[in-house]
Amino acid sequence: MNERTDESFDESSIVHVGTAPNEIVADLWRQVLRDEGVIALVKPTGLGHAYISNSLNPHQVYARTDQADLAREVIASLSEDVDDDSWETWETSDDSS
């Protein structure tokens, strides 16, 4: 087994930075955070695989304390990119004409 040599790192160095609505969004956030240099951990919530897949459950996203502010900024910018009006237009469009 590999032992961690960084003595300054401990479990209390991880903080919750956001909650994604499902596994797909959580993985997207984790990839974008990684591209920005943030180490992120994704943890599913809910009953787990005993009863149903976790893919549709919300997923909590964690980051190191020293990267938490950047992680929150990145997640907020991703959330701002979603245009709710475009979803409404798509759902109500009628192509039967």
Q: Which residue has the higher pLDDT, 97 or 46?
A: 46
C-alpha count within 13 angstroms, C-beta hemisphere, residue 26: 24
pTM (whole model) above 0.75: no
Q: How far apart are CA 36 and CA 52, in angstroms?
A: 33
Domains of the chain: which residue ranges? Answer: 12-77
What does pLDDT average to over the chain?
78
At residue 18, the pLDDT reads 95
Class of domain 12-77: alpha beta
Query: Among residues 2, 3, 14, which one has the least CA distance to residue 63?
Result: 14
